[in-house]
Amino acid sequence: METFIGKPIKRREDARFLKGAGRYTDDIKLPKMTHSAFVRSPYAHANVRSIDTTEANKADGVVAIYTGSDSCGTFGVPCGWQVDFKNGETMREPLHPLLAKDKIKHVGEAVAIVIAETLEQARDAAELVQVDYESLPAVTDPRKAMEPGAPLVHEEWPDNASFDWCIGNDRAEVEAALDSAHYVTEMEFRNQRLAPNAIEPRSYIADYDVNSGKWTLYTSTQNPHLIRLLLCAFVLGIPEHKVRVVSYDVGGGFGSKIYHYTEEALLTWASKEIGRPIKWTSDRTEAFLTDAHGRDHVVKSKMGFDKEGKIVAHLTDEFCAMGAYLSTFAPAVPTYLHGTLFQGVYTTPLIHLNVTAPFTHTVAVDAYRGAGRPEATYLLERMISKAAKEMDIDPADLRFKNFIPPFDGVNEPGYQTQVALQYDSGNYHGVLKRGLEMLGYEDFRKEQAVARASGKLLGVGISTYIEGCGIAPSAVVGSLGARAGLYEVGAVRVQPTGKVSVFTGSHSHGQGHETVFAQFVADKLGIPMDDVEIEHGDTDQVAFGMGTYGSRSLSVGGSAIIKSVEKILEKGAKIAAHKLEAAEEDLEYAEGKWTVKGTDKSVSFGDVSLTAYVPHDYPEGLEPGLDFSSFYDPTNFTYPFGTHIAVVEVDSDTGKVTLKRFVACDDVGNVMNPMIVDGQIQGGVVQGVGQALLEEVIYDESGQMLSGSYMDYAMPRADDIPMIETDRTVTPCPHNPLGVKGAGEAGAIGATPAVVNAVVDALAHLGVTDIQMPLTPQRVWKAMQN
Amino acid sequence: MIPAKFDYIKAATVGEAINLLEEHGFDAKIVSGGHSLIPAMKLRLATPEMLIDIRGIEGMNTITEEGNEIVIGANCTHHELTVNALVNNHVNVLSQAAKCIGDIQVRNRGTLGGSLAHADPASDYPATVLACEATIVAQGKNGSRTITAIDFFQGLFTTALEEGEIITAVRFPKVANGTYQKFFQSASRFAVVGVAAVKDGDRVKVGVTGVAGVPYRATAVENAYDGSSACAAHAVEGVDDVMSDHFADEEYRSHLAKVYVKRALEAL
Ligand SMILES: Cc1cc2nc3c(=O)[nH]c(=O)nc-3n(C[C@H](O)[C@H](O)[C@H](O)COP(=O)(O)OP(=O)(O)OC[C@H]3O[C@@H](n4cnc5c(N)ncnc54)[C@H](O)[C@@H]3O)c2cc1C
């Protein structure tokens, strides 16, 4: 019997993607559909004196134009996570209107929507909308936003803070330990702002049906149910049972499509006003200006060591930009997804992180691939490597000295950190040891010495990361400020012929769920993969769901499906026992049939399925049918970890960095499909390298974005990246049925500090200790000159 | 990314194109490869009401040898310049520059004439045209004239072309050996610095693009050339408008100019 778990099975969904037959929102054309364009502010901070739509209204094909004065958006788009001030003051949460009315708070903020028969007409008419702005001074840097006298983003509060927060040990205790430490290393830097750049821009179609009074919203989202909930309960106050949210194929999200955006709600509202469907698809410039960004932390940090090189204390202060409005999960990112990872993979006994989260005249910052954990990992892994250099200890040795010893979470307990979490299982020695082997670390050091003697600048950089995925359980995240649960729903419907439909609240936008979920369902049921179909992305089909982000799909969504599979097998056993005239406990299930132990008497899954729906000869009192839905709320996060090692060469004339090798040894727990895991790791690594070397959203002092196109925002390309060498160790997660941890973000978390460490290593003999990301040739060259 | 409304007409001859330009005046624009114009139109930075397509004009996409010159039709694509034997044998610096442009799609559509007329200060050809002392052949309603490379480039996106003139060809004197060295901008992959150097007996001729608002001949380098690359130190001498952006400020760009002139001289 063919099994599927652990095999590199090619992705089923790729056939339609490669043939251009995907069902993306922008591909959908509805009868009588209208098109829309937004009028957006060219200023970061301005008063809107007047909006004149007279000329635009007269333009060809215009159906309707709405501005902030219309009755849309009374409630605004809410934030989904509340983090209150340390002193107990409630988080400052500004109204985020669907259209700005009197005041502009970032470049690209929409002031009007123009709806027309064609897209061209909508764009043409949008140019005729006259807006009179009074431009005002802006602030875009999170640290400057907190300086006295900084322009206020929201005038109702005395300063720009949205909240502040801290985690870990008592600050005074940490400071005292640093004061008496043998050695203290320090860093100040900015973890720069990034644009997520999903290849498919955001796209929505809202369709209000006058006859049924129902809405359908087609949207490129990572979590359709959450969008429906926010839309109905918070923004528009419309009945949830009359709203269907559909999100078939989505071309990447990286976090940016988790959130509920103003355009989604506005289209839904306007569709009822005009009684026709409305489409809007972002263009690339709009994506740069309006998709939630990632990172943007200004960091100041100290780490103390004893004589042996053991970390004794770690203290960090950060300013983390929120942007002009609070995006759906924004407050969680620099706090519960960030500070809670400050233990890293080390036994640091004293840790304190203090965060101030200011508003800035920029688009919102929210979770972007890794969300808070890349920022934590970058800081820790740069600090360790910097300290190693300064203390003249090999960076690998310094890591080995400080690692938390291996623990499997079953025989040895989970590891309790200083920053609230308890790690599930880990073997950090294992991944570093393997990573060094894969690289040939000792040989490389010799090669490096030879190269250096001949003037060639070679460097190696290590990072050993840990991250937290599948954040849960709901009650705990609720107590930390989440305004939603973080469980998942998985339903398994066995058809009378024994074919299986699986409905998941997880959402695939590149992850390959249709393949991986079918692999383990087929295995657990002992049936062919072709007999299993995975359905997602339609609120009318799937009971509920929390969607896909934070590498949660397999560990949370997969576990919910497993629960339903178990219920199917349990009920199936009752039917089988009846058919076989045996006791349930005498049956065993394998290879798609129930067999009476020790005999050749058996009944197949297909027979049992048919019997469940044609219950003529059937157990008394048992309901017909074979269809179960389950909610799975995990007991803990999962904690993947790994070691990434980069080798770089720096051009001594120009400062240009070439990535020569990249080695990744990750531990993502049990692996369902190694090819897909490799793909996830490699994709993540490329994004991590992008942050290290290329990418940066730049706002100037006045709040203009200087990097709003691919002419100015550098994305990694194939020829920037060497073959990524991957391997794995396997430390199963002890608390979910598949023993899986998550692989979606690991690459982006581990790669960035490895690359920066490598560049700094290449230049260490020139006295270079740090370079601000991205390490553009200019920055590297300038660092070499000083 | 939706252009404003425009009309389109395909010209069969240079004369027809010139007449159409005159007829439609400021509202009309020539389009050849469309790889600078169409992106600008999609962003509504350019809103011509009439596009006059010159790609079908006979004789504007040929490459011929005329005595000591290689004459290249303005409509020749970047790709054609990378593969054409005459260009490779006699103006190898031009085929090297063409290879550095954009990606395969861009090279298959974009043209020599379009690139020169557009005069993007970060484009690759100007360095080559300057170093080779090529002449630009332009035709307008008063007939045809030639413009020397040094006179052609006048400022950011500004050339010596008169209103209503079309580049029909570029005449490149044959060069024994040349090289094009480019430092790519990491996002756009246009030139932060592009240096073309050609050998002329004992002397060199050096064109530099990307560095200043107008591409220039590095005459200070040429004058100081002594067979070695030491003269590269003069790469930005006399240049008072070195460009600056977040990829390369004035200091770094000036430094790169020296590095790339040196590399070009050493590659000769
Ligand atoms: C993704 C991308 C990457 C690129 N990378 C590079 C690069 O690395 N280096 C580089 O140098 N360039 C680059 N380019 C620009 C490219 O080389 C263009 O093809 C070129 O600049 C314009 O040529 P075209 O034939 O496409 O002109 P068009 O876009 O058709 O026209 C450009 C302008 O010139 C005028 N024009 C066109 N032909 C003539 C003529 N014969 N006589 C008079 N006026 C004329 C038009 O009216 C218009 O104003 C890139 C372009 C893209 C889209």
pLDDT tens sequence across A513-564? 999 999 999 999 999 999 999 999 999 999 999 999 999 999 999 999 999 9
3-state helix, strand, coil in chain A (%, to 5): 30, 25, 45
pLDDT for the residue A710:
96
CB nearest A654 (choices: B5, B246, B259): B259
CA distance A641 to A750: 9
- At position A426, the amino acid (one-letter code) is G
**Pair of tokens at residue B167:** 């580049």
Dihedral angle sign, alpha carbons of residues A389, A393, A397, A401: negative
**Which pLDDT value is given to residue B151?**
97
CA distance B129 to B196: 9
What pLDDT score was predicted for residue A75? 81
- CB B266 within 8 Å of CB B229: yes
* Segment A435-473, tens digit of pLDDT: 999 999 999 999 999 999 999 999 999 999 999 999 989
Give the pLDDT of residue A468.
95
Report the CATH number at residue B33.
3.30.43.10
| A290's tokens | 């309006």
Which of the listed residues B173, B194, B225 is the one where a domain comes to its end?
B173
In three-state secondary structure terms, A396 is helix
Q: Domain containing B44: what range?
A: 7-53
d(CA A328, CA A78): 7
- Answer yes or no: are the C-beta atoms of A682 and A747 closer than 8 Å: yes
- Phi/psi for B158 (5° steps) reads -130, 130
**On the CB side of A3, how many CA atoms lie within 13 Å of its CA?**
7
3-class DSSP assignment, residue A57: helix
Stretch (H or E) spanning A226: helix A224-229
CATH topology of domain A368-469+637-785: Aldehyde Oxidoreductase; domain 4 (3.30.365)
Q: Are residues B129 and B185 in the same domain?
A: no
Give residue ranges with CB within 6 A of ligand 1: B 29-37, 39, 54, 74, 101-102, 106, 109-111, 113-115, 117-118, 120, 123-124, 166-167, 189-190
Closest among A703, A749, A696 to A194, alpha carbons compared: A696
The answer to whether A14-136+200-251+257-290 and A368-469+637-785 have equal CATH topology is no
Q: Is B200 exposed, middle or buried (0-12, 13-18, 19+ CB in 10 A)?
A: middle
Side-chain-facing half-sphere of A721: CA atoms under 13 Å: 21
Q: Please check whether residue A419 is in contact with residue A338, taking contact to mean a CB–CB distance below 8 angstroms.
A: no
What Rg, from alpha-carbon coordinates, does chain A have?
27
Q: How confident is the model at residue A623 (pLDDT cuts 50, 70, 90)?
A: very high
Contacts of A392 (CB under 8 A, 6+ apart): none
B39 and B82 assigned to the same domain: no
Whether residue B41 lies within 8 A of chain A, CB to CB, comes out as: no
Q: Which helix (H) or strand (E) holds A292?
A: none
Cα A20 to Cα A178: distance, rounded to the nearest angstrom: 58
Percent of chain A with pLDDT over 70: 100
Cβ atoms of residues A378 and A296 within 8 Å: no
Q: Provide the CA A36 distance to its chain's centre, in angstroms.
A: 29
Rounded-to-integer distance, Cα A682 and Cα B247, Å: 27
Chain A residue numbers touching B187 (CB-CB < 8 A): 694, 710-715
**Distance from C-alpha of A235 to C-alpha of A229, rounded to nearest angstrom:** 9
Q: What are phi and psi of A432, to 5 degrees?
A: -70, -40
Within 8 A of A698 by CB-CB distance, chain B residues are 246
Supply angle C-alpha A714, A720, A721, rounded to 5: 130
Q: Which two tokens stand for residue A343?
A: 């233990």
Smallest Cα distance from B154 to chain A, Å: 24
The reported pLDDT for the residue numbered A52 is 98
Q: What is the pLDDT of residues A183-218, one digit of tens each?
A: 999 999 999 999 999 999 999 999 999 999 999 999
Contact A716, A195 (CB under 8 A): no
Strand pairing report for A724-728 and A657-667 = parallel
Which two tokens mark A12?
Answer: 């089923």
Task: Give B39→chain A minimum CA distance, Å.
Answer: 11
Nearest by CB to residue B248, choosing from A696, A713, A778, is A778
Q: Is the pLDDT of residue A74 over 80?
A: no
Answer yes or no: do B228 and B162 share one domain: no
Instruction: Tell me what pLDDT residue A175 has.
Output: 98
pLDDT number for residue A71 = 79
- Pairwise CB contact (< 8 Å): B187 & A710: yes
Name the class of domain A14-136+200-251+257-290: alpha beta
Q: Give me the residues paired with residue A480 across strands.
A: none
Q: What is the CATH number of the domain that holds B252?
A: 3.30.390.50
Question: How many C-beta atoms lie closer than 10 Å to residue A623's C-beta?
Answer: 11
Q: Which of A184, A241, A196 is nearest to A220 (CA)?
A: A196
- Domain residue ranges in chain A: 14-136+200-251+257-290, 368-469+637-785, 487-632
Task: Tell me which DSSP letter residue A293 carries.
Answer: B
Say if residue A473 is preceded by a cis peptide, omega within 30 of 0.
yes
- Cβ–Cβ below 8 Å for B5 and A124: yes
Q: Which amino acid is at A571?
A: K
Candidates A13, A25, A199; CA nearest to A687 is: A199
Is residue B232 one of the residues assigned to a domain?
Answer: yes
Q: Does residue B228 lie in a domain region?
A: yes
- Is residue A72 predicted with pLDDT exceeding 80? no
- For B213-255, what is the HEC assignment? CCCEECHHHHHHCCCCCHHHHHCCCCCCCECCCCCCCHHHHHH
What is the pLDDT at residue B26?
87
How far lies A233's CA from each of A238, A240, A366, A378, B17, in Å? 7, 8, 22, 38, 61
- Mean pLDDT value across chain A: 97
Nearest Cα residue to A61 out of A37, A83, A27: A37
* pLDDT of A73 above 90: no
Nearest CA to ligand 1 atom 30: B34
Cα dihedral value A192, A198, A199, A202, nearest 10: -120
Q: A35-61 pLDDT, tens per residue?
A: 999 999 999 999 999 999 999 999 999
The CA distance from B49 to B4, in Å, is 8
- Domain check: are B227 and B166 in the same one? no
Q: Where are the alpha helices (DSSP H) in B78-183?
A: 78-83, 85-90, 92-99, 104-109, 112-118, 125-132, 149-152
B158 and B67, same domain (yes or no): yes
Q: Give every residue of chain B whose pLDDT is below 50, as ranges.
A: none
Selected residues 693-722 of chain A with any CB under 8 Å from a CB in chain B: 694, 696, 698, 706-707, 710-715
Q: For residue B134, is it within any domain? A: yes
Peptide bond into A774 cis (omega under 30): yes
May I ask the CATH architecture of the domain A487-632? 2-Layer Sandwich (3.30)
- B2 contacts A123? CB cut-off 8 A: yes
Q: Give the residue-averaged pLDDT of A424-435.
A: 98
User: DSSP code of A593?
Assistant: E
Q: Which of A654, A698, A710 sits opposite B246 (nearest CB)?
A: A698
pLDDT higher than threshold 80 for residue A422: yes
Per-residue burial over A469-485, b = 16 or more CB atoms within 10 Å of its CB, e = otherwise: bbbbebebbeeebbbbb
Q: Would you give the DSSP letter of residue A341?
A: G
Alpha helices in A60-126 (DSSP H): 119-126
CA distance B73 to A270: 54
Decide: B264 and B222 in contact? Cβ < 8 Å: no
What residue spans of A252-318 are helical by DSSP H?
Answer: 262-274, 284-290
Burial profile A377-407: b = 16 or more Cβ within 10 angstroms, e = fewer: bbbbbbbbbbbbbeeebebbebbbbbbbeeb
Asked if A483 and A81 touch (Cβ cutoff 8 Å), the reply is yes
Chain A, 576-605: which have a CB under 8 Å from a chain B CB?
Answer: none
The tokens for A110 are 């929409």
For residue A728, the 8-state DSSP code is E
Domain-terminating residue out of B104, B139, B173: B173
The shortest C-alpha distance from B107 to chain A (Å) reads 17
What is residue B216's predicted lDDT score, i.e. its pLDDT?
97
Helix (H) or strand (E) holding A739: none
Under 8 Å between Cβ of B184 and B101:
no
Longest dimension (CA), chain B: 57
pLDDT tens digits, B86-145? 999 999 999 999 999 999 999 999 999 999 999 999 999 999 999 999 999 999 999 999
Q: Which of B110, B143, B173 is the last residue of a domain?
A: B173
In the predicted structure, residue A262 carries a pLDDT above the cut 90: yes
Q: pLDDT tens, B173-185? A: 999 899 999 999 9
Question: Is A711 within 8 Å of B188 when comparing Cβ atoms?
Answer: yes
Average pLDDT over residues A349-376: 98
Count of other CB atoms within 10 angstroms of residue A173: 14
From the list A92, A213, A67, the residue with the least C-alpha distance to A153 is: A92
Chain A contact for B247 (CB, 8 A cutoff) = yes
Looking at the fold, whether B68 and B169 belong to one and the same domain comes out as yes
Distance CA A771, CA A648 (A): 15
User: Do B154 and B209 fall into the same domain?
Assistant: no
Q: Residues B234, B138: one domain? A: no
Indicate if B82 and B162 belong to the same structural domain: yes
What are the φ and ψ backbone dihedral angles of A718, each rounded to 5 degrees?
A: -55, -40
How many Å apart are CA A157 and CA A161, to the nearest integer? 8
Chain B nearest-CA residue for A693: B186
Residue B2: inside a domain: no
Q: Tally the domains of chain B.
A: 3
**So what's the ipTM on this one?**
0.96
Separation CA A18–CA A678 (nearest Å)? 20
